[in-house]
Structure 1
Amino acid sequence: MMETSPDDGHLQAILLVGGKGTRLRPLTLGTPKPLLPTAGVPFLAHQLARAKSFGVRRIVFATSYRASMFTEAFGDGSAFGLDLVYMTEQTPLGTGGAIRNAAQALTCGPDDPVLVLNGDILSGHDIHAQVALHMSRRAAVTLHLTEVEDPSRFGCVPTDADGRVTAFLEKTPQPVTNRINAGCYVFQRSVIDTIPEGRVVSVERETFPGLIDAGALVLGYVDATYWLDVGTPTAYIQGSRDLVLGRLESPALPGPCGECLTLTGAVVSPEAKVSGGSVVGGGAIVEAGATVIGSVLLDGCVVGPGATVIDSVVGPGARIAGGAVLSGVVVGDEAVVGPGNELLAGARLWPGVVLPEVAVRFSSDV
């Protein structure tokens, strides 16, 4: 990992964080997806730390949903050794429109590279190498492409023998390649200025295909290291778990890698079992006989005696009574799961909901 970018050591970036995170509700009802606690810190803390390690010094946040919460969380960036500024869209402008709007706060020249990051991606790829490829080939845009086992779930991005992107293909049952758009781009600064201003623009459907059709050089930087879109509860839990277990290194991890990460103020009974990359948030309590595997326990929640929590998220202040079983579940803030309940994969308990002391199985939203 390099400590400087390929130019002058002051690479600038745009961070796209305007989405509402609807697939992660109820966790995102009050908190933007990029600010959800992930392996003990806000998700974006991991991205900011990695970006800094690759020479990024100035980052423009492209915000929309609950924009003020990003400023409250990260301020001017001085605590992270970064210069952070915020550009807010009054109405959502799409990925391209957001990039164009945020670019007003860039201070680099027209021929400089600009890194664009998506606020819901965990990636172990080499940003320095992506930027170096972009600059050596003098590309208009260089896209990080990753390889997945089932590309039919994504849009495919084929390239020719020289690495030039030849098309952007919608989801298809017979994909021509297993390489997909991984959501990290390097733009030439002047190319961003060609994106129409003040209207909704999609880089995937409009900007990139338009550049290709015009004969501009759009490159693919192919990398098969760790990559995860954390847009669903299952993926969010997996991302936190992988960071705690050390499957993806992060300078922002607030403790050593291992089977669990216990934050300041948490109380875990010596007779409880917490493993699988679980996080126990500040002030959370795990009582005797409880089993917690691969889960995220947020601040102030309680897992009662003999309860079992597997691959789940338990929201702030929520209470899981003794003997309850959760597997693949999201429990909202201050919700209560009474004794004897078993919540199965896919269940989501909305904030404040109380399940009484009955033996009942749920497999859908509650």
Structure 2
Amino acid sequence: MPDLEAILLVGGQGTRLRPLTLGTPKPLLPTAGVPFLAHQLARARSFGVRHIVFATSYKASMFEPVFGDGSAFGLTLEYMTEETPLGTGGAIRNAAQALGSAPDAPVLVLNGDILSGHDIGDQVRTHVERQAAVTLHLTEVEDPTRFGCVPTDPSGRVTAFLEKTPNPVTNRINAGCYVFTRSVIDSIPEGEVVSVERQTFPGLIEAGELVLGYADRTYWLDVGTPAAFVRGSSDLVLGHLASPALPGATGEYLALEGARVSPAAKVEGGTTVGARSVVEPGASVVGSVLGDDCVIMSGASVTDSVVGDGARISAGAVLRDAVIGEGAVVGSGNELQAGVRVWPGVELPECAVRFTSDV
């Protein structure tokens, strides 16, 4: 397969992941030991992508200092910023100014908040062989009522884009990875707010253009919520989804440089222990993401949670499905459950209180 160009959509504000995204764009959040996008970049490189254009908006200036020119990944990276948000279609059109592809060449478009194990190379080959206008990765989910669904005919042609409905006609949904023919991108109005899901794709279907669905049942996860973010990081550490960017061997936990995990602590479930963080004897950390310079004290229990850089979880504290902001302190006796979020710098004093709402 010839070298590919790609556009990476990273302009979202990640509001569902606050407070983690107050100072950091969602695609840069540490995930299994590296910024989330590092996994996407490494995977794209493995399928022959060599040039990627970042379509940025929210905190746009933070991306280039992290990834530079892409040489560390064997890639060439460029950055195109929307001064005002242009929607998915507008972002793709804006970023395409940095592409060098010919009008009939395939261009890969990736959403910056998806983990997927599907065969990108086969999706591109299918697109080229069928001479499609756009080829969409479709995935099957147990509960399609939470998503818009994408029906196809027996040949794989997409017949419609349907909004969320209590009675979906299919369990296949848009998985957020597209292959465009370059000329189709160039037909999107420049400088305008355009949604590919609501405008571009339905318009192509109505015009009789071939919009293909590439459906499979491989690993797929939208990491847009704290619970999904934690699960994605844990799945990468456990090896449920292979990533060339993982900075260590797969296993029950991944300890980064300078981390200290007591042999008398329970650390498992794909936990990441950030650089210089400490997990003391008798502590339990399961399926969680610990940032850098954290302390999990003896007797503390952390399950399916995110603990931000420099936070301290005191002896006897219990966290389940919680998000702890940078520098926060959870005192002994506190029990945080049901998706509680503690904002950066907050100190919960030693007590015996069960929190079920944000603090």
1:154-169 correspondence to structure 2 within 5 Å: 154-169=147-162
CA distance in 2, matches of 1:180, 1:327: 30
> Match of 2:145?
152
> Match of 2:123?
130
CA drift at 1:256? 0.5
> Match of 1:251?
244
CA distance in 2, matches of 1:213, 1:294: 46
The question of 1:120 aligning with 2:143 is answered no
Aligned with residue 274 of structure 2, among 277, 281, 291? 281
CA distance in 1, matches of 2:228, 2:357: 18
Aligned with residue 27 of structure 2, among 34, 45, 57? 34
Q: Secondary structure at the match of 1:190?
A: helix
Aligned with residue 261 of structure 1, among 249, 254, 257? 254
CA drift at 1:93? 0.4
Q: Secondary structure at the match of 1:163?
A: coil
Aligned with residue 335 of structure 2, among 330, 342, 347? 342
> Match of 2:222?
229
Letter in 2 for 1:143: L
CA distance in 2, matches of 1:292, 1:211: 49
Letter in 1 for 2:265: A
> Match of 1:19?
12
Deviations 1:147-193 (A, max 9, x none): 00111100000000111000000000000000000000000000001
Aligned with residue 291 of structure 2, among 289, 298, 315? 298
CA distance in 2, matches of 1:305, 1:128: 48
Aligned with residue 44 of structure 1, among 37, 42, 48? 37
CA drift at 1:271? 1.1
CA drift at 1:136? 0.2
The gaps in structure 2 that reach 5 residues or longer are none
The question of 1:217 aligning with 2:210 is answered yes
CA distance in 2, matches of 1:177, 1:217: 20
CA distance in 2, matches of 1:337, 1:234: 20
The question of 1:310 aligning with 2:306 is answered no
> Match of 1:333?
326
> Match of 1:61?
54
The question of 1:106 aligning with 2:99 is answered yes
Q: Secondary structure at the match of 1:283?
A: coil
CA drift at 1:288? 1.1
Letter in 2 for 1:161: P
Q: Secondary structure at the match of 2:153?
A: coil
Aligned with residue 172 of structure 2, among 179, 182, 206? 179
CA distance in 2, matches of 1:279, 1:87: 32
CA distance in 1, matches of 2:357, 2:333: 17
Question: Segments of 4+ in structure 1 off by > 6 A?
Answer: none
CA drift at 1:68? 1.1
CA distance in 1, matches of 2:340, 2:142: 27
Q: Secondary structure at the match of 2:293?
A: coil
The gaps in structure 1 that reach 5 residues or longer are none
CA drift at 1:284? 0.6
CA drift at 1:199? 1.2
What TM-score, normalized to structure 1? 0.98
CA drift at 1:265? 0.6
CA distance in 2, matches of 1:269, 1:184: 41
Aligned with residue 83 of structure 2, among 70, 90, 100? 90
CA distance in 1, matches of 2:358, 2:191: 38
CA distance in 2, matches of 1:345, 1:309: 13
Deviations 1:129-154 (A, max 9, x none): 10000000100000000000111100
Q: Secondary structure at the match of 1:71?
A: helix
CA drift at 1:25? 0.2
Equivalenced residues, count: 359
Letter in 2 for 1:309: V
CA distance in 1, matches of 2:70, 2:339: 37
Deviations 1:332-359 (A, max 9, x none): 0000000111111210000000000111
CA distance in 1, matches of 2:238, 2:331: 31
Q: Secondary structure at the match of 2:39?
A: helix
Q: Secondary structure at the match of 2:62?
A: helix
Q: Secondary structure at the match of 2:108?
A: strand
Aligned with residue 353 of structure 1, among 308, 323, 346? 346
Percent identity among equivalent residues? 77
CA drift at 1:257? 0.5
Letter in 2 for 1:124: G
